[in-house]
Every structure is written in C-alpha cells, then in structure tokens.
Amino acid sequence: MTNKQSRKTPTPPGAKPRLQMVDIAKMAGVSTATVSRALNDSPLVTPETRARIAELARSMNYTINAGAKHLRLGQNKTVALVLPYERDSRQSVSDPFFLSMFGAIADALTERGYDMLVSRVDASELDCAAQLYNAGRAMGIILIGQWRHHEQLKAMAERGVPLVVWGAQMTDGGYCTVGCDNIAGGELATEHLIACGRRRIAFIGDTVFPEVAQRMEGYRRALARHGIVADERLSIAASFLADGARQAMAELKRRQAPFDAVFACSDLLALTAIGALEQQGLKVPRDVSVVGYDDVAMASYFHLPLTTVRQDIEAGGRELVAALIERIGHQEPASRVVATELVIRETSRVPAA
C-alpha cells in the first residue's frame, strides 16, 4: 500500500477522530490488507483470523467506510433520504408533509449535483439506515424525524455515520438536526387562538415525539401567560395518520370536556379534525377555531382554508443538504433552526359579535 493510500484524513480541531483500518491492523498485529480482506469475508484469510478481526472491529465500533472509498474514487454522489415508519401506524409516504420535504430535499440535492436514494426503514430499527452508508450505496444519510429513537441516532453518529436529522434540537445533542422552532410555533398557534377569544383550546398530537412535545410546551407557555389553566382532558395523544384526528375528536366528545378551539400538530390532523367536527354538527370557525402545523399545499385550498404555523420547508431542505455535505467533508455542522410564521386563514376567523 502506498503512503498516499494509508494516510489518514485530517481530523478537524475538537472533532473525535474516526478509527481507521490501519488502527485495527496494529491492534490485531496483521497488515492493513489482511484486515480489509477479513472484513470483506475474503477466503484468502483463515476463518479464525476473520472472526478475530471482526470481533475486534465490533468492539471498537468500526465499520468499513465503503462510501468514503467510492467518494475518493469519484464514484459516489448519492445521498440517502430515509423515511422511518412506526409499525403500529405506518405513516404513509404520501403524507403531505413527507411529500413537501421530499421535494425540497430533491431540489437542493439536484442544485448541488447529487443523486438521491429513498429508503423506508422501521423506526424501531434505525440502525438499518446505517447500512446504506456502510455498504457504499450512499455517502451520507438525511433522516426525516427522530420518532422515539433519539438514543439510536446518537449511537449511529458516534460510529461515524454521516447523518443529519430533520427534527427537534435536543439538549444532549449527539448529532446534527435541522428543524423549526417548535416551542415558538406552539406559542404562535395558541396566542392566536387566545386572541380570537378562545379559552378552551384542545391540543392534538403525540408528545412521545420530540417535535410534538416541544409544540405542547409552547402551547402551555402561551396558556400560562394568559392565566389559563391547562385542562388535561383537552390534551389528546394522536398519531400523524388522518384516523388519529378522527379518534381524537371522538375522544374529546367522550370526555365531555367543553372546548372552543383545536391546535393540531400537523395540517393533516387539523384538516381531518375539521371534517370530524362538522360530522358532530359543529361549525368551524363559528363554534370551534382550528389551527394546524406545517402549511402544506392543501392547507390553502381546502374548502375552509386552514390557519396554520408555516415551517419553511424549502429552507429546511436546503439546510439539511448543506449540513450533510459539511458532515461528509469531515466537519462538525451545527444544528440549524428554520423560521416559523403564523398564516391566518378562514378556520380561525374571529366570530362575529
């Protein structure tokens, strides 16, 4: 092997150096070529040596960086876009938010001359996403949503997988995130509903998801500022599926807790909630004001145009791609926050006196 081939990539100041194949070779007391053959299951290496080297690599959290090899050879310009799903809900790729983010990322990658590989993985097995990088199919991964698995994502990043996540910025960090200011978004929605004269505001969304938990925090902060005690009966856990909103509206009716507004943590939930309210004989916004979150395309042309908190999804796509390219280039990109703004439409119009 030449000096050029064996030279390690410089590590930026303060960054944790990535374990190299030459390090494994030194620890195993063999050549780098032997380590390479062993980790690729070459029959030129005895089964005993292959097993010993594989176990050493596992103990050191080392994986073959096939993506980096292809990148050095100019053979890989592909980024993996990973869309996790929960087994119990299986949120569809056709979800309006997914489609909007998909398009924004695709545009940003195309502008920079990259290809995109789309993959679906079980959210409880996010390590499967790392195989796209380890096998050299993609030079890095953009993952949409933290779901319930923040610790898995931290472990992937610690192993050196180039990873950027659309989601909530967490206090303990561990990986780069791009997302909106969810607390501010929750405050915007709730403050607006209070300004419309609403005091009994229902919250729909599953707070096991970090983004939703932060939106609820904003909701509670706004209520507290106005001296409104949060009624726990008005907080309904709901999946991001349309049926989640229907079930939430049925649960609110069952609890017999009066409400005059709904803050739903996605536009799909909000639009479905409106239909459920109308089926119950309630009028929006006369009886109940509704605010959603995202500002997907259909929000503006629904039969009742939806008031919503807009996430700048186009900017989010650009920032996700920019951060991942920095990470691929051995930098440590800082997490980014994209703007949110309230878009007022018909579903929260102030009722006539």
Estimate the crossing angle of helix 32-39 against helix 21-28, to 10 degrees: 100
Check residue 75 and give its pLDDT: 54
Choosing among 2.40.50.140, 3.40.50.800, 3.20.20.140, 3.40.50.2300, the CATH entry for 70-180+313-338 is 3.40.50.2300
**pTM for this model (two decimals):** 0.76
3-class DSSP state of 87: coil
- What pLDDT score does 65 carry? 59
Q: 47-59 and 21-28 are packed helices; what angle lies between their axes, rounded to 10 degrees? A: 120
Cα separation of 249 and 287, whole Å?
A: 14
Spatial contact of 179 and 166, defined as CB atoms under 8 Å apart: yes
Fold match flag (3-62 vs 70-180+313-338) = no
Tokens for 321, please give them. 């791609």
Residue 84, C-beta contacts closer than 8 angstroms, at least 6 positions apart: 120, 121, 122, 123, 126, 129, 143, 144, 145, 147
DSSP 95: S
Distance CA 174, CA 109 (A): 24
pLDDT of residue 316: 95
pLDDT tens digits for range 103-139: 999 999 999 999 999 998 887 777 788 888 888 889 9
Q: What is the CATH number of domain 3-62?
A: 1.10.260.40
Q: What is the pLDDT of residue 129?
A: 84
CATH code for the part of the protein at 182-311+342-348: 3.40.50.2300
Residue 18 vs residues 71, 133, 138, 312: alpha-carbon distances, Å: 16, 15, 18, 34
Burial of 200 (0-12, 13-18, 19+ CB in 10 A): middle
Tokens of 8: 């390690």
Pair 212, 205: CB distance under 8 Å: yes
- Would you list the domain boundaries of the chain? 3-62, 70-180+313-338, 182-311+342-348
Each residue's pLDDT expressed in tens, for the chain with a length of 353 residues: 344 333 444 444 454 566 778 888 888 888 888 888 888 777 888 988 988 888 888 888 776 655 555 545 455 789 999 988 776 655 667 788 888 999 999 999 999 999 999 998 887 777 788 888 888 889 999 999 876 778 888 888 888 899 999 998 887 778 999 999 999 999 999 999 999 999 999 999 999 889 999 999 999 999 999 999 999 999 999 988 878 899 999 999 999 999 999 999 999 999 999 999 999 999 999 999 999 999 999 999 999 999 999 999 999 999 999 999 999 988 999 999 998 999 999 999 875 55
Are the CB atoms for 140 and 133 separated by under 8 Å?
Answer: yes
- In this predicted structure, what is the pLDDT of residue 8? 43
Give the pLDDT confidence score for residue 137 in this predicted structure: 87
Segment holding 29, helix H or strand E: none
